[in-house]
Amino acid sequence: MSMIGLAADSAVAIAERRRNKPGRGVYSGRSRVALERNLMAFRSSNWIIVLSGFVEPLFYLMAFGFGIGQLIGGVTDGSGHPVSYAAFIAPALLATSAMNGAIYDSTWNVFFKMHFAKLYETMLATSLGPLDVAVGEISWALLRGLVYAIGFMAVMAPLGLIPSWWALLAIPGAVLIAFGFASFGMAITSYLKTFHQMNWINFFMLPMFLFSGTFYPLNIYPEWIQSVIQALPLWHAIQLERGFMLGNIDSSIGWHIAYFLVMIVAGLFFTTRRLTALFIK
């Protein structure tokens, strides 16, 4: 059997094509292969766990939107229009769906792959660079976020919670949200060393979900609490999706988008830096 050089496109030829590209020490332009690997592993993974992350926001929608919604009737949205309670919380739950999907993969799964499966160590022994790994893993987490969000939309439509075609913008919105959370989640996870520290992520996520203007408008809080919440990513996510779904498109949307763009770039930067420090030390 032939061992060297006979492959039409050898590993060396492939790597050398990037010889003069910037960032050649950290990136080989092949983050998709990390996605492929995840898809392979996913085919034989536990579907119940996957499904549970998706149905959770649905249960909230049923219990709060249609249960409690019966009691309180309607609310007014950001621009003063009256909307049904279910229509008010549905975009928030959509944003939460995207976040859950992205966080699920980018935190606990990444933690496992990093410290127990030694997957990144294996990947970085090949001609992949740390940025390939970071982008690949984040895209995978993003994909799950997107799938959850689309699934949620599919349930909302027959319930009459999608009022206009504008609402379709909520899907690219969900991509942005999932991307931001995936990127940031992976960056944070890459700095954590113990299960104990990982639990802090959960500890932080629940209150953020409950208090980010998810179930009622923010203005019932005193000013200072409002400011704190407005600094949190889920609040921006919810405002963005609520704006799209209810058709309130104004300049504040730009800020929410900018918030997530910063989150994405910062997450990618710190993840790459950390992976380099951890595995090419």
Partner 1 sequence: MIVARGLRKVYGDFVAVDGIDFEVRKGEAFGLLGPNGAGKSTTMKMIASVSKRTGGELTILGLDPNKRGPEIRAHLGVVPQQDNLDRELKVHENLFAYGRFFGLSRKFLKTKVEELLEFAQLTEKRNAKAEELSGGMKRRLTIARGLVNEPEILMLDEPTTGLDPQARHILWDRLFRLKEQGVTLVITTHYMDEAEQLCDRLIVMDKGKIMAEGSPADLIKRFASKEVLEVRFGSSKNIEIAEQIFHLGHRTEVLPDRILIYSENGEEDLQAILKLGLEPVTSLVRRSSLEDVFLRLTGRTLVE
**Residues 170 and 241 sit within 8 Å (Cβ to Cβ):** yes
Cβ of residue 135: shortest distance to partner 1, in angstroms? 14
* Nearest distance, CB of residue 40 and partner 1, angstroms: 5
Stretch that binds partner 1, among 10-18, 142-150, 205-213, 239-247 (CB under 8 A): 10-18
Single out the segment in contact with partner 1 by CB under 8 A; choices: 86-94, 112-120, 232-240, 242-250.
Answer: 112-120
Q: Would you say 27 or 215 has its CB closer to partner 1? A: 27
Asked if 82 contacts 74 with a C-beta cutoff of 8 angstroms, the reply is: yes
* Angstrom distance (rounded) from CA 164 to CA 166: 5
Task: Say how far apart CA 135 and CA 23 lie, in whole Å.
Answer: 14
Residue tagged 């799938």 (tokens):
147
Structure tokens at 66: 């249609």
Question: Rounded to the nearest whole angstrom, what is the least distance from the CB of residue 61 to partner 1 in the complex?
Answer: 33
Closest CB 17 distance from partner 1, rounded Å: 9
- Candidate list 53, 74, 78, 121; residue touching partner 1; CB under 8 A: 121
Query: How many angstroms separate the Cα of 23 from the Cα of each of 20, 34, 53, 132, 262?
Result: 9, 18, 36, 11, 21
Among 2, 20, 194, 251, binds partner 1 (CB under 8 A): 2
Contact 266, 180 (CB under 8 A): no
Residues that bind partner 1 (CB under 8 A): 1-12, 14-16, 18-19, 24-28, 30, 33, 36-37, 40-41, 44-45, 117-119, 121-129, 279-281
